[in-house]
Amino acid sequence: MSMERSVTVVGLGYVGLPTAALLARAGYSVFGVDVSDRIIDALKGGESPLGEPEVAQIVCEALASGQLKAGKVAEPADVFIICVPTPVRADKTADLSMVRSAIEATAPKVKKGALVILESTSPIGTTRDVIAAALQKNGLDPYTDVDVCYCPERVFPGATVREILHNDRVVGGLTPKAAERARAFYQSFCEGSPVTTDAASAEFSKLMENTYRDVNIALANVFARVAEEAGVDVQDVIGLANRHPRVNVHSPGPGVGGHCIPVDPWFLIESFPQDTKLFLQARNINDGQAQRLLDRAEKAGLARGSKVAVLGAAYRGDLDDSRESPTELLLGILQERGYSWSVHDPYVTRLHVPDGAEANLTDNLDEALKGASAALIMTDHARYRALSPEKFSVMTQKIIADGRRMLHESSFVEAGFTVVPVGAPLAAGADGEASGDSKKERPSLRVISSSD
Ligand X SMILES: NC(=O)c1ccc[n+]([C@@H]2O[C@H](COP(=O)([O-])OP(=O)(O)OC[C@H]3O[C@@H](n4cnc5c(N)ncnc54)[C@H](O)[C@@H]3O)[C@@H](O)[C@H]2O)c1
* CA–CA gap between residue 438 and residue 429 (Å, rounded): 13
User: In the annotation, is 260 catalytic?
Assistant: yes
* CA–CA gap between residue 216 and residue 222 (Å, rounded): 10
Dihedrals φ, ψ of 274, to 5°? -70, -35
Q: Which residue is nearest to ligand X (CB)?
A: 13
When binding is defined by CB under 6 A, the residue of 11, 173, 265, 312 that contacts ligand X is 11
When binding is defined by CB under 6 A, the residue of 29, 30, 34, 283 that contacts ligand X is 34
Among positions 341-380, residues that touch ligand X (CB under 6 A) are none
For residue 157, state whether it binds ligand X (rule: CB under 6 A): yes
For residue 14, state whether it binds ligand X (rule: CB under 6 A): yes
Q: Which is nearer to ligand X, 203 or 409 (CB)?
A: 203
Q: Identity (one letter) of the amino acid at 154?
A: R
* CA–CA gap between residue 294 and residue 305 (Å, rounded): 13
Going through 259-352 in order, the beta strands assigned E by DSSP cover 307-311, 340-344
User: What is the 8-class DSSP label of residue 443?
Assistant: P
The answer to whether the CB of 293 falls within 8 A of the CB of 422 is yes
Integer angstrom CA distances of residue 55 from 59, 80, 224, 339, 388 = 6, 21, 37, 39, 34
List, in sequence order, the alpha helices (H) in 70-175.
97-106, 126, 133-137, 160-166
Among positions 62-91, residues that touch ligand X (CB under 6 A) are 83-86
To the nearest whole angstrom, how small is the minimum distance from the Cβ of residue 256 to ligand X? 14
Selection from 413, 370, 414 nearest residue 392 by Cα: 370
To the nearest whole angstrom, how small is the minimum distance from the Cβ of residue 94 to ligand X? 10
Using the rule CB under 6 A, give the single segment among 6-14, 227-235, 347-355, 431-439 that binds ligand X: 6-14
To the nearest whole angstrom, how small is the minimum distance from the Cβ of residue 135 to ligand X? 16
Binding residues for ligand X, rule CB under 6 A, total 28
Using the rule CB under 6 A, give the single segment among 154-162, 168-176, 211-219, 335-343 that binds ligand X: 154-162
When binding is defined by CB under 6 A, the residue of 35, 56, 133, 184 that contacts ligand X is 35
When binding is defined by CB under 6 A, the residue of 121, 211, 327, 360 that contacts ligand X is 121
For residue 12, state whether it binds ligand X (rule: CB under 6 A): yes
Provide the mask over 291-330, with x wherever binding to ligand X is found by CB under 6 A and - wherever it is not. ----------------------------------------
Residue-wise DSSP of 341-363: EEEE-SS-------TT----EES
For residue 207, state whether it binds ligand X (rule: CB under 6 A): no
Q: Identity (one letter) of the amino acid at 326?
A: P
When binding is defined by CB under 6 A, the residue of 5, 27, 36, 318 that contacts ligand X is 36
Which CB contacts under 8 angstroms, 24+ apart, belong to 138-144?
138/107, 138/108, 138/110, 140/107, 140/110, 140/112, 142/174, 143/174, 143/175
To the nearest whole angstrom, how small is the minimum distance from the Cβ of residue 105 to ligand X? 6
CB within 8 Å of 159: residues ≥ 6 apart: none
To the nearest whole angstrom, how small is the minimum distance from the Cβ of residue 329 to ligand X? 19
Dihedrals φ, ψ of 263, to 5°? -105, -50
The answer to whether the CB of 123 falls within 8 A of the CB of 203 is yes
To the nearest whole angstrom, how small is the minimum distance from the Cβ of residue 97 to ligand X? 8
For residue 52, state whether it binds ligand X (rule: CB under 6 A): no
* Options 149, 151, 190, 260, the catalytic residue: 260
Using the rule CB under 6 A, give the single segment among 60-68, 113-121, 167-175, 380-388 that binds ligand X: 113-121
For residue 13, state whether it binds ligand X (rule: CB under 6 A): yes
For residue 257, state whether it binds ligand X (rule: CB under 6 A): no
Residues annotated as catalytic (active site), given as ranges: 206, 260
Which residues lie near ligand X (CB under 6 A)? 10-16, 33-36, 39, 83-86, 98, 101-102, 119-121, 153-155, 157, 259-260
